[in-house]
Amino acid sequence: MATVQSDRRIVLTLDAGGTNFRFSAVRGAKPAVQGISMPANGHDLGLCLKNIVEGFSQVRAQCPADPVAISFAFPGPADFPNGIIGDLGNLPGFRGGVALGPMLRQKFGVPVFINNDGDLFTYGEAIAGLLPHVNNLLQQAGNPKRYKNLFGVTLGTGFGAGIVREGRLFLGDNSLGAEIWLLHNKLDPAMNAEEGASIRAIRRSYASVAGIPFEQSPDPKAISQIALGKHPGSKKAAREAFRRLGLVVGDALAQALTLVDGLAVIGGGISGAAPLFLPALMKEMNSTYTAPDGSRFPRLTAKAFNLESVNERKAFLMNSALKITVPGTRRKVKYDPVPRIGVGISRLGTSEAVAIGAYAFALQKLDNLCL
């Protein structure tokens, strides 16, 4: 992990939004140049591709050394390993399969790596964000436990996710790993989770409770200010909107962490309102199922802790290991009877985490190619 921060190689990066493309270059997990922005022009494929080439060209011209690769996040569906972009909802000019990666490789003469933003966000947080932060806290607390796996989600226009397992990004056989947005929606199982865990979901919930048309519903930042009593509007509707989001995200995270078993990190624009939705999220994760005899049991084998809460973080870091005797001997071994997982907010910020993830992914791929 430390080699990423000290590596002197330069990688060109791109933060691809639906409206603007922001280009930069990274060296040693930090920006190496002054970034630039270009309009996406997603409705016009030719103009969009021209702007992508121009953006990378302008950034490359600023670099103190030749870049060794291009690595960035781009919306899916896509065949990410081969750099082919499919039919995109927010960039409608992309239709029928666009070989973006091969085009950029031919133009710039360096390897090109494209991934989902949720994947790269999680990878960045695993390298320089929440994962090492929590392991450092455990070390400081004298707890020998260390975490190696991280599940990340982004809350914004959509509901994205990524999985890092023991330092490696898990992509799946079809570039479709961690498609959390397609899990069921706890509040409306006929819909997918993204319809309860996104900007439009918060606006829709607020409008419903406040009794106003969706078109008049403010953005989540304004709704969060209403919930805190800092902006005029329905405080009840605002708080309910974030509570509902917490329930949906908590349910989805509980399903995902049942399979992944690691820490969870939350990013994206909505994560800034974490105090408004984390209580409902954690309550849902630590909720129970009903057995056929009517008894209740936890939906997660491990207890989930809110790492943003001082008291819960203290309990999470506590070393609760016991010494038990090996049968038939006098030898004792340590046993921790309290499996636990932690949920925290991005320590890097989403854009920085994505850039670091893109950088590290490119270096890892290049080093594998050199073996």
Percent of the chain with pLDDT over 90: 82
| pLDDT higher than 90, residue 16 | no
CATH of 2-115+355-370, one of 1.10.357.10, 3.30.420.40, 1.10.287.3510, 2.40.440.10: 3.30.420.40
Element holding 49 (H helix, E strand): helix 45-62
Report the CATH fold assignment for 130-347.
Answer: Nucleotidyltransferase; domain 5 (3.30.420)
Res. 221: pLDDT tops 70: yes
Largest Cα span, the chain = 75
Instruction: Please check the confidence at residue 9 and state whether its pLDDT lies above 50.
Output: yes
Q: Do domains 2-115+355-370 and 130-347 have the same CATH topology?
A: yes
What's the pLDDT score for residue 207?
98
At 2 the pLDDT is 46
| Strands 340-345 and 10-16, sheet pairing | unpaired
What pLDDT is recorded for position 77? Answer: 84
Delimit the domains of the chain by residue range. Answer: 2-115+355-370, 130-347
Instruction: Record the pTM.
Output: 0.92
Report how far residue 69's alpha carbon sits from residue 63's, in angstroms, rounded to the nearest whole number: 12
Give the per-residue pLDDT at 45. 93
pLDDT tens digit sequence for 17-45: 778 898 999 999 888 998 899 999 888 99
Q: What is the pLDDT of residue 371?
A: 45
Q: For 101-158, write each residue's pLDDT tens digit.
A: 999 999 999 999 999 999 999 999 999 999 999 999 999 999 999 999 999 999 998 9
What pLDDT sits at residue 370?
A: 60
Give Rg (Cα) of the chain: 22
Which tens digits make up the pLDDT trace of 76-117? 888 999 999 988 877 888 988 999 999 999 999 999 999 999
Q: In what order do the strands lie in the sheet with 159-165?
A: 168-170, 159-165, 149-155, 263-267, 340-345, 303-306
